[in-house]
Amino acid sequence: MSEATFLEAISMVCGTVALLGGFRFFRRYLELKHEPRVPTAVDGLAVRLDRIELAVEATAVEIERISEANRFIAKLLAERAGAAALPRSPERVITPH
């Protein structure tokens, strides 16, 4: 077998392999392009959302408790400051005459 024939045979084999690989890649690309895209973690999503919802509700209740306590303390301090702010009767001063 001559060297030219050997090179032609090798290039034909390599070209065929490359062409078939390219066709296979293109076919897979088209298959993936036309597949509907569905998230894979949909089954656990509902459970996670339920847990998040419970956490948000619990946080809201705690914040409401904190704000009620804050209003109560503010009311007590306002009442205490109001009683202390009343004018006192002046003290009797005894001056010598």
pLDDT tens profile 43-63:
778 889 999 999 999 999 999
Q: Where are the domains of the chain?
A: 1-37, 38-83
Question: Quick check: pTM over 0.85?
Answer: no
Structure tokens at 28: 């897979």
Residue 63's alpha-carbon distances to 35, 56, 59, 91, in angstroms, are 46, 10, 6, 48
Structure tokens at 67: 């704000």
pLDDT at 17 over 80: yes
pLDDT at 86 over 60: no
Q: Tally Cβ neighbours within 10 Å of residue 1.
A: 6
Rounded mean pLDDT of the chain? 87
% the chain with pLDDT above 90? 56
Angle at 25 between CA 22 and CA 27, to 5 degrees: 110
